[in-house]
């Protein structure tokens, strides 16, 4: 299953998962919301993630909400990233450019 992920920075400490989901559900099906909290204080670290089920919905949400205020603070929204839940992480390899000894010099 493909998940379309948007990352957010600049969240107000008063934003919770429900208010974030409410703000983005008008753009499409939000499958998951996660705000990152400080382990010691329990307070929001000011960033989080919203997952959409469709790429076009994630892109519309990004375009509409990037720079917009949510509970008094402007959001910075990163581009949608495709990931496969439960699948392996695939790291693209650079083309071989010759001898390994000269490659990093």
Give pTM, 2 decimals.
0.67
Rounded to the nearest integer, the mean pLDDT of the chain is: 79
Q: DSSP 3-state assignment of 74?
A: strand
- Pick the more confident residue, 53 or 105: 53
- Pick the more confident residue, 24 or 88: 24
pLDDT bin (cut points 50, 70, 90) of residue 21 is very high
| Best CA proximity match to 6, nearest among 69, 86, 64 | 64
Share of the chain above pLDDT 90, in %: 19
Give the pLDDT mean for 49-62: 88
Structural domains present in the chain: 2-82 (3.30.70.330)
Q: Is 21 left (phi over 0), alpha (psi -120 to 50) or beta?
A: alpha
Handedness of CA 60, 66, 67, 68 (dihedral sign): positive
């Amino acid at each position: 299953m493909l998940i379309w992920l948007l990352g957010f920075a600049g969240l107000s400490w008063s934003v919770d998962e429900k208010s974030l989901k409410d703000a983005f559900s008008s753009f499409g099906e939000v499958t998951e919301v996660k705000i990152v909290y400080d382990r010691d204080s329990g307070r929001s670290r000011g960033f989080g993630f919203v997952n959409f089920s469709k790429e076009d919905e994630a892109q519309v949400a990004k375009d509409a909400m990037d720079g917009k205020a949510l509970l008094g603070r402007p959001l910075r929204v990163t581009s949608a990233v495709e990931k496969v839940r439960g699948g392996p992480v695939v790291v693209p390899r650079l083309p071989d450019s010759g001898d390994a000894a000269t490659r990093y010099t």
